[in-house]
Chain A
Amino acid sequence: MKQQRFRFKILALLLFSLFILLSLYGLYSINTYGNRWFAYARNPRIREQKQSVIAGDIYDRSGVVLASTVDGVRTYQPSEEARRAIVHLLGDDEGQVSNGVEGFQTAYLYGFRASLAERINSLFSGEPRRGDNVTLTIDSKLCTAITRYFSSRSLSRGKNGAAVVMNYKTGELIAMVSLSSFDPMDTSSVTAESEVYWNRATQSLYPPGSTFKIITTIAALDNIENIASRQIICTGSLEVQGQAIRDFGNAVHNSLTLKNAFVRSCNNAYAMLALTMKDAALRRTAESFGFNDNFLFRDLVVENSAYPTGTQNEFQVAMSGFGQSSIGVTPLHMCLVGSAIANDGIMMEPALLRQVTSVGGSIRMQFEPRVYRQATTAANAAILQDYMKAVVSSGTGTRARTAGLTICGKTGSAESSRNNRAVTHGWFVGYCANDELPFAVAIIVEDIADGEGGGSTAAPIAGDIFTYLRDNRDLVTQ
């Protein structure tokens, strides 16, 4: 009996711990994923609320009305070009674009957050209920301009792609564009399963190509002694497991320092670095930059970036060194990587909401910068800043140069296959080092012409964007 009583106590404690586990799990998962579950497009409660509540307006950072409800119809900006530029970010009324502001912020836009006092107010005033007004951190003019930059250059005209611009000190997104696009007010020409609904900036995983060398360099600085002062030999072709790794344009660089290897984007050197420090070290650094992390940003739903977690063979490791194995990354995340370098190793959480105000004018939510993670040390970041500056001043990224600004960056040409056809994407990741313009960009141009690279396709667009930012300084930094 005595022993049995003791064991009853153990059983009771076992059951208690099960229930504690249950409640902790419940609280944790609702706290972490609750907003996402609620904002899921198929939530019938949202559809119901749409019957009785008028959705709030959406403004950009300078007060331009991006979306409003006029006579019960959701209307967007008057210019079709502007509508097309911002539709992926904004979402559409029918929920075709997943996790745009229109969908993801339903809790605000349709007044789910209204307080009891406000409900009583609207009851006595007799007016139909209105949702909250949302102001974004976006500059809509820049978004429109970016689509023009894409079409104004022959190498990127008509190509699909994406561009992300963010303030690397605060994490505010200034522009996010995905091409190709569609007009939310006239979807008749779009087929249901069309690619145009896809927000490439947040939902598409691309191989990062040479832009991944930023991370490989950081990993090398951390894991290989004195690597910055050693010489690396490039013979033009490196045999790994019977397969040859060649450089862009079959270049032979002979003896290089790490800086030169970075500036000239030498694949052989980076394959050797990856093989020297092994897969685990490279993966650790990649993960410190947010690869394989479950992104749970406040205002954005971003596809998780992937660095292979299984064992890779030698060839795959070598390819990982310059971002060509099965690494996948979104343009938004690449922009975060660039901004972490620019911000001395600290990666800010990207944000889209600047302010939310109720109909009565009270402020429901105000943007505050939040750190996402410490990606690397300030010392490493300083070295990379120097290297990236050299890329734009004398390396592969010279076409991103902008008068009056110090631009740093890294170009990339990522190869992937689509429909059994090898395609090359042009990348540019960079930032402006000037203190008064703390902006980072990531640009990808899909399926570029043979023989072209990121330096000739994506870098010029970055140059255009920096020019715009320079000329509209007050607008974007206010």
Chain B
Amino acid sequence: MPTQVYEVLSLAMRYVFTFLGVMIVWRAFSWLRKDRRLKHKRLRQLPDAGTIGVLAVEFGSRELPEGTILPVPHEGVMGFLRTCDIVVPVDGVANEHLDFTFTDGKGLYVCPRRGCPCTVDGVEIRTKRDSRRHPMQHSSLLTIGEATLRLGVFAGLDVQHYVPVAEDLFPLEQYPEDASGPIPDDLPPYAWSDSEERRRSDAD
């Protein structure tokens, strides 16, 4: 193509390119904005998204009365501070008391920070090695400071074995005997995962 014609063509096209560039950026940002709104909406419909179970308070304090339900995420920090993932405002609990991690098929590992001991089912956990030996299972009992908390793991998640206690709080008859196998699709839901059920049992 003759250079002069190409020049004019290219000069005309640069406006198109600029327009397309601006449009792509604008589209991308409006997409980002809409996605954010969509995500908030979805998360509002799923109050349990990202949690693996609950901790029920068996012995607490005035701020944390008995029977309070604390949702447990996959990972996080437990402690006195409000910035923690699980807030336990009870005497004897440090600001950031322990880190916890849920591993599918193993259970919830609790790893106390230095100088902040805790017990799992009566076994004192002080070091990382202790925590690896004693993961919390469904209905395990955790004492932290003066508080006593019981873990309930949601259905669909895999732990080594269940400790059958407190049947009035956790209706275990709904669970299959051995949950370590493949998870059946028609697994009955864990009662606490539904907020309405939760409220009903609170009233009881």
| Among B4, B12, B84: residue with most chain A CB under 10 A | B4
A123 to B85 CA separation, bound complex (whole angstroms): 70
Which residue of B5, B7, B8, B85 contacts A2 across the interface (Cβ within 8 Å)? B85
Which residue of A1, A3, A120 contacts B73 across the interface (Cβ within 8 Å)? A1
Interface SS of chain B: helix, strand, loop or mixed? mixed
Which residue of B8, B73, B76, B77 contacts A123 across the interface (Cβ within 8 Å)? B8
Which residues from B are CB-within-8-Å of A116? 8, 11-12
- The verdict on A119 contacting chain B, using a C-beta distance below 8 Å, is yes
Closest to B12 in A: A116
> In the complex the two chains form, is A119's CB within 8 Å of B8's CB?
yes
> In the complex the two chains form, is B4's CB within 8 Å of A2's CB?
no
> In the complex the two chains form, is B4's CB within 8 Å of A3's CB?
no
A3 to B8 CA separation, bound complex (whole angstroms): 56
> In the complex the two chains form, is A2's CB within 8 Å of B11's CB?
no
Which residue of B5, B12, B74, B83 contacts A3 across the interface (Cβ within 8 Å)? B83
Which residue of A1, A3, A119 contacts B7 across the interface (Cβ within 8 Å)? A119
Closest to A114 in B: B11
Which residues from B are CB-within-8-Å of A6? 83
Which residues from A are CB-within-8-Å of B12? 116
Which residue of B4, B8, B11, B85 contacts A1 across the interface (Cβ within 8 Å)? B85
A116 to B11 CA separation, bound complex (whole angstroms): 7
> In the complex the two chains form, is A1's CB within 8 Å of B76's CB?
yes
Range class of the A interface residue count:
under 10
- The verdict on B75 contacting chain A, using a C-beta distance below 8 Å, is yes
A31 to B104 CA separation, bound complex (whole angstroms): 58
Which residues from B are CB-within-8-Å of A1? 73-77, 85
In A34-49, which residues have CB < 8 Å from any B CB? none
Which residues from A are CB-within-8-Å of B73? 1
Which residue of A2, A119, A120 contacts B76 across the interface (Cβ within 8 Å)? A2
> In the complex the two chains form, is A119's CB within 8 Å of B85's CB?
no
A134 to B75 CA separation, bound complex (whole angstroms): 72
Which residues from A are CB-within-8-Å of B8? 116, 119-120, 123
Which residues from B are CB-within-8-Å of A2? 76-77, 83-85
In B80-101, which residues have CB < 8 Å from any A CB? 83-85
A82 to B84 CA separation, bound complex (whole angstroms): 83
Closest to B14 in A: A116
Task: Please give the distance in Å from A311's CB to the nearest CB on chain B.
Answer: 50
A339 to B204 CA separation, bound complex (whole angstroms): 92
Closest to B84 in A: A2
A250 to B110 CA separation, bound complex (whole angstroms): 93
A283 to B162 CA separation, bound complex (whole angstroms): 83
Closest to B83 in A: A3
In A117-166, which residues have CB < 8 Å from any B CB? 119-120, 123
Q: Beta-carbon contacts of B1-17 to A below 8 Å, as 1s and 0s?
A: 00011011001100000
Closest to B87 in A: A2
Q: Beta-carbon contacts of A1-22 to B below 8 Å, as 1s and 0s?
A: 1110010000000000000000
Closest to A2 in B: B85
Beyond known contacts A1-B77, A6-B83, A116-B12: 20 more, CB 8 A cutoff? A1-B73, A1-B75, A1-B76, A1-B85, A2-B76, A2-B77, A2-B83, A2-B84, A2-B85, A3-B77, A3-B83, A3-B84, A116-B11, A119-B7, A119-B8, A119-B11, A120-B8, A123-B4, A123-B5, A123-B8
| 7 A–B contacts from the bound complex (CB under 8 Å) | A1-B75, A2-B76, A2-B77, A2-B83, A2-B84, A116-B8, A123-B5
